[in-house]
């Protein structure tokens, strides 16, 4: 998959009806914060949340998919009113196929953002493949667009702003 020009990214963004997001390193900064009393915490970002809120109201279907499993992700998903949440997923491509089928969507109608090797199979399928600035090299090398901001600090907001602008243009 070769790098696309910004015009091509724009064309791809216009067709998007669903955004599938990896969680750690994308919707968070990748920190796994562990405490001595068994607690686990994650850093989300208020501007990403505002973007997700806007996307939802504009009718974009939002999906979270994570290789790990954490109550924190459930809490954040509830807060953002995202109902499609898949955790403890070993093969993300299976979730990818499942949600496309459920909503009757084609690859070109789906954007996927992920930061690590486990995200490569769905990234190779998605109509718009995205990585945050902090993505590993193997992932950043195959996507259509790498966000300027890092995960958990605006990467998701940047993606949503791009998709909504492209669709409104």
Q: Point out which residues bind a copy of itself (CB under 8 A).
A: 24-25, 30-47, 49-50, 54, 68, 70-72, 75-76, 115-118, 134, 136, 152-153, 157
| 3-state SS class at 135 | coil
Asked if residue 9 lies in contact with residue 144, where contact means CB atoms within 8 angstroms, the answer is: yes
Q: What is the closest distance, in whole angstroms, from the C-beta atom of residue 77 to a copy of itself in the complex?
A: 11
Q: What is the closest distance, in whole angstroms, from the C-beta atom of residue 109 to a copy of itself in the complex?
A: 26
Residues facing 67 on adjacent strands: none
Q: What is the closest distance, in whole angstroms, from the C-beta atom of residue 106 to a copy of itself in the complex?
A: 30
Based on CB atoms, which residue is closest to a copy of itself, 134 or 147? 134
Based on CB atoms, which residue is closest to a copy of itself, 9 or 18? 9
Based on CB atoms, which residue is closest to a copy of itself, 110 or 113? 113
């Amino acid at each position: 998959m070769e790098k696309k020009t910004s015009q091509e990214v724009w064309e791809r963004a216009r067709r998007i009806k669903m955004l599938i997001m990896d969680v750690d390193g994308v919707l968070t900064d990748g920190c796994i914060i562990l405490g001595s009393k068994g607690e686990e915490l994650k850093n989300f970002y208020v501007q990403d949340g505002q973007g997700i809120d806007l996307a939802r109201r504009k009718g974009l279907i939002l999906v979270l998919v994570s290789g790990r499993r954490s109550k924190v992700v459930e809490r954040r998903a509830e807060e953002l009113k995202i109902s499609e949440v898949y955790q403890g997923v070993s093969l993300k491509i299976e979730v990818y196929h499942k949600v496309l089928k459920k909503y009757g969507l084609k690859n070109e109608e789906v954007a996927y953002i992920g930061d690590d090797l486990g995200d490569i199979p769905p990234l190779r399928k998605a109509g718009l493949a995205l990585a945050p600035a902090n993505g590993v090299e193997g992932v950043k090398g195959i996507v259509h667009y790498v966000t300027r901001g890092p995960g958990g600090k605006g990467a998701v907001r940047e993606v949503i702003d791009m998709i909504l602008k492209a669709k409104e243009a």
